[in-house]
Chain A
């Protein structure tokens, strides 16, 4: 039992939900919100953190994602550091601090969890993400009486997301020789056709790995464990995600009305597509719940680098009573009943067929959304996840 938990808050969208869940477990907590400037060496941050830990008699620290500096501080003070990973890839996990014995790492993706364990982490757990159904049902029960809101967020098919085509996608902005370009295109095209299995890392031979790292200028400092194949695979994976999302939205909006909420730079021609409604930024806390609830179909296109896990998006859609149509993911298949709680597609043709079908079968669609909501309410509660994490500390 932890008598005093410190929660490092940096992820504004989800922090309040986490705090609420900790509270519901009757765990006394304090928050720490200092901004970190360097993941390994920020003496100001470290000093403040240690001071608070000692003064408040903090017994464990919890954060979304992994902060090497927090791990170091916890290691020295011999208190557990609970790190809940909710996005892949996460290069801070390649930090040499990963082997710290006070680390307790909870990863939502099984395959990634295996990798973290192979890197030398002592306590790694597979822990799927969660969603706050209370908050969402509160908002919705208030607003469902308000028709204006309903109309504003009514969509046929909607997608909220990033297109991974900006600065962070180094592969796209790099120049390669014809051979390497061809090689990467081949692997990417093959991966785009394959659902449920990411073979990028295994398909890249050493020459290609070296070239990718060189042209993309990918390098990690000496504080990190150097993992060239995985870093190259992640760079290629981001390009796969970019192409996949472009391909899906572009082709789908040729036939069906699609509303897109994205701040990414999109193709200019998309402005001219009659069925594609470009709506820009959507506030995740305030607007997304209404979008999920009021869209007939909510698309989820999982990022390629999330190899097996259930992304947060899926749980949030279901938690808001929305109907979710998602690419096939192994863990989604494991935890949900396809066709009853959500619907999965495993090819573009499959996607088109299902969009058409579910637009025509409203009752069935609503039934599925309802069952999906009940599933996440029952099995994906934040409160329970927090309890799991606390209980797992020996």
Chain B
């Protein structure tokens, strides 16, 4: 097939392009600036590319309304695999465009769209590049560099772009209390996100005053959604990651890999940023235990991080996430925690039981290689789109 591939700086682009080419598909890249809001800028280039060749569909990671409108106009199918959460463009008015095949990895989110009868949104869990990961072999140098008891790779949500919560310092005392209350409550609950539902009118009003959601944006996302998923969920996760790493590093040798190199979190060694392709696999391979602490806006889905860890043969301890249980066997292919006490116990246990740990890591990796590779997903996506372009 002839595939037009939207090129922006995201995870997985290279993996998928390589895979498609290997399967004999012709892939043409088209550059895209994700900050684009006007169609004109992209439309010109899009028309030019289309004039030179015909394509079966356009593929992108994540979903872009501008791209969708262009595809709709040209009658070209648009396959968009969304791996970010939250993702505001899912609430764009363009979502029902008939050219769209939007794949979301969080079943909880998919269900919301089903309830609204939006047929352009489908469910597709994330994946790893089976081929690339299975061809990475550990080296003594990498082992020495990255070996530790516990590792965490991820954002601590303390960076400037996430400091949205600080904007809310101007709200009234009641609202401050209310937000603190619901954040502390959500910290204790896994498997159910109530942040949107629990926003009462008076609290919303206060938040709109100090941080108005942009009424000009063509989106049907409600203010509750934006505040709950972009601000509060991040705050909850920021707290959880902070608390967990403080606790863990107090007892165990912990490496933290996060963009903000200056952050001191408990006794963890902050190693700063790590390259997704070149080095991250070695982190997972050489840490005895790898933690996954899912962002709260992901309701049931398995985050990419968890799949990366298992796909690299790493041992995974994750917060409870429903879909992990649907695709993987707990305590046989991964381990989960239900509260901090549980996490500490299991961390201590698995550090003491090397054989157990290795067996679980290997089993998890086998499952990923058999069932959760880009190869598998692309086949599924092509099935949905219809290989000859027909529905």
**Interface residue ranges, A against B (CB under 8 Å):** 177-187, 189-191, 193-194, 197, 199, 202-205
Q: Chain A at the B interface: mostly helix, strand, loop or mixed?
A: helix
B residues less than 8 Å from A193 (CB atoms): 194, 197-198
Asked if B174 contacts A178 (CB within 8 A), the reply is yes
The answer to whether A187 and B173 touch (CB under 8 A), given A194-B192, A199-B189, A203-B188, is no
Check A186 against B188 for contact (C-beta < 8 Å). no
Task: Contacts A185-B200, A186-B179, A205-B184 known; list 19 others, CB within 8 Å.
Answer: A179-B180, A180-B177, A181-B177, A182-B173, A183-B181, A184-B177, A185-B174, A185-B181, A186-B198, A187-B182, A189-B198, A189-B200, A190-B194, A193-B194, A193-B198, A194-B194, A197-B189, A202-B184, A203-B185
How many Å from the CB of A340 to the closest CB on chain B? 25
> Closest CB-CB distance, B195 to chain A, in whole Å?
9
B177 in contact with A190 (CB, 8 Å): no
Q: Is the CB of B200 within 8 A of A190?
A: no
Check if B100 is an interface residue, CB within 8 A of chain A.
no
Tell me, rounded to whole Å, the shortest Cβ–Cβ distance linking B184 to chain A.
4
Which of A178, A180, A186, A202 lies in contact with B172, CB distance below 8 A?
A178
Let me know if B178 is at the binding interface, CB within 8 A: yes
Which residues from chain A contact B179 at a C-beta distance below 8 Å?
A: 182, 186
| In the complex, chain A residues whose CB is within 8 Å of the CB of B180 | 179, 182-183, 186
Q: B227: shortest Cβ distance to chain A, in Å?
A: 13
Of B178, B187, B188, B197, the residue contacting A182 (CB under 8 A) is B178
Q: Among A182, A194, A197, point to the contact of B181 (Cβ < 8 A).
A: A182
Contacts of A178 in B (CB 8 A): 172-174, 177
Q: How many residues of B contact A (CB 8 A)?
A: 23
In the complex the two chains form, is A186's CB within 8 Å of B189's CB?
Answer: no
Residues of A within 8 A of B176 (CB): 179, 182
Does A181 contact B188, Cβ atoms closer than 8 Å? no
Q: Return the contact of B185 from the options A177, A179, A182, A187 (Cβ within 8 A).
A: A187
Interface centre among B172, B173, B178, B187 (most CB of A within 10 A): B178
B contact residues around A183 at 8 Å (CB):
177-178, 180-181
Task: Report the bound CA distance from A183 to B181 in whole Å.
Answer: 4
Question: 8 Å CB contacts to A: which residues of B200-248?
Answer: 200
Indicate if B319 sits at the interface (CB-CB under 8 A).
Answer: no
Q: Are A179 and B173 in contact (CB under 8 A)?
A: yes
Beyond A186-B178, A186-B180, A186-B198, is A191–B185 a contact (Cβ under 8 Å)? yes
Closest to B195 in A: A190
Which of B183, B187, B197, B198 has most A Cβ within 10 Å?
Answer: B198
Max count, chain A CB within 10 A of own CB: residue among B173, B181, B194: B181
Q: Does B186 contact A (CB under 8 A)?
A: yes
Chain B residue nearest in CB terms to A186 = B181
B175 touches A182 (CB 8 A): yes
CA distance A181 to B172 in the complex (A): 12
Q: Please, how many angstroms separate the alpha-carbon atoms of A197 and B190 in the complex? A: 10
Separation in Å of the A192 CB from the closest CB of chain B?
A: 9
Distance between B268 CB and nearest chain A CB, rounded to angstroms: 23
Interface residue ranges, B against A (CB under 8 Å): 172-189, 192, 194, 197-198, 200
Interface pairs A-B: 7 shortest CB-CB: A186-B181, A182-B177, A178-B173, A183-B177, A182-B174, A182-B178, A179-B177
Among A178, A183, A199, A204, which residue has the most Cβ atoms of chain B within 10 A?
A183
Chain A residues with CB under 8 Å of B183's CB are 186
B184 touches A203 (CB 8 A): yes
CA distance A182 to B188 in the complex (A): 18
Q: Which residues of A contact B177 (CB under 8 A)?
A: 178-186
- Whether B178 contacts A190 by the Cβ 8 Å rule is no
Q: Which residues of the partner chain A approach B182 to less than 8 Å between Cβ atoms?
A: 186-187, 189-190
A190/B174 in contact, CB under 8 A: no
CB nearest neighbor in A for B189: A199
Q: How far is the CA of A202 from the CA of B243 in the complex (A)?
A: 14
Neighbouring B residues of A187 by C-beta, 8 Å: 181-182, 184-185
Q: Which residues of A contact B175 (CB under 8 A)?
A: 182
- Nearest residue, chain B, Cβ from A190: B185
Pick the most buried of A178, A189, A190, A199: most chain B CB atoms within 10 A of its CB: A190
Residue of A nearest to B180 (CB): A183
B181 lies within 8 A of A190 (CB): yes
Closest CB in chain A relative to B338 CB, distance in Å: 10
CA A178 – CA B206 in complex, angstroms? 14
CA of A197 to CA of B339 in the docked complex: distance in angstroms? 13
Question: Of the candidates B174, B181, B188, B192, which one forms a contact with A202 in the assembled complex, judged by CB atoms under 8 Å apart?
Answer: B188
CB atoms of B189 and A194 under 8 A apart = yes
Q: Nearest-CB distance from B189 to chain A (Å)?
A: 6
Contacts of B185 in A (CB 8 A): 186-187, 190-191, 199, 203
Residue numbers in A under 8 Å from B198 (CB-CB):
186, 189-190, 193
Bound together, the chains give a CA A178 to CA B177 distance in angstroms of: 7
A to B CB contacts below 8 Å, 9 in the list: A178-B177, A179-B174, A183-B180, A184-B181, A186-B179, A194-B194, A197-B189, A199-B189, A205-B184
CB distance from A118 to the nearest CB of B (A): 13
Residues of B with C-beta under 8 A to A184? 177, 181
Closest to B174 in A: A182
Q: Which residues of A contact B200 (CB under 8 A)?
A: 185, 189
Alpha-carbon distance between A178 and B174 when the two chains are bound, in angstroms: 5
A185 / chain B contacts, CB cutoff of 8 Å: 174, 177-178, 181, 200
| Minimum C-beta distance from B337 to chain A (A) | 15
Chain A residues closer than 8 Å to B186, beta-carbon distance: 190
Residue of A nearest to B199 (CB): A189
CB distance from A233 to the nearest CB of B (A): 12
Which of B177, B182, B194 has most chain A Cβ within 10 Å? B177
Closest chain B CB from A157 CB (angstroms) = 25
The docked-state distance in angstroms from the alpha carbon of A178 to that of B180 is 12
Distance in angstroms from B16 CB to nearest chain A CB is 39
A203 to B194, CA, bound (A): 14
Give the CA-CA distance A182 to B184 in the complex, in Å.
Answer: 13
Q: Which residue of B lies closest to A205 (CB)?
A: B184
A255 to chain B minimum Cβ distance, whole angstroms, is: 21
Complex Cα–Cα for A178 and B171 (A): 12
How long is the Cα–Cα vector from A189 to B189 in the complex, in angstroms? 14
Give A83 to B380 CA distance when docked, in angstroms: 60
- Distance of A189 Cα from B182 Cα, bound (Å): 8
Bound CA span A191–B185, Å: 8
Which residues of chain B are within 8 angstroms of A179 by Cβ–Cβ distance?
173-174, 176-177, 180
- The answer to whether A177 and B189 have CB atoms under 8 Å apart is no
CB contacts (< 8 Å) of A190 on chain B: these are 181-182, 185-186, 189, 194, 198
Could you tell me if B173 and A177 are in contact, using CB atoms closer than 8 angstroms? yes
Q: Which residues of B contact A194 (CB under 8 A)?
A: 189, 192, 194
**Which chain A residues lie closer than 8 Å to B181 at the CB level?**
182-187, 190, 203
Minimum CB–CB distance from B187 to chain A (whole Å) comes to 8
Known A177-B173, A194-B194: A199·B188 in contact at CB below 8 Å: yes
Measured between beta carbons, the chain B residues less than 8 angstroms from A181 are 174, 177
Considering the complex, give the chain B residue whose CB is closest to the CB of A191: B185
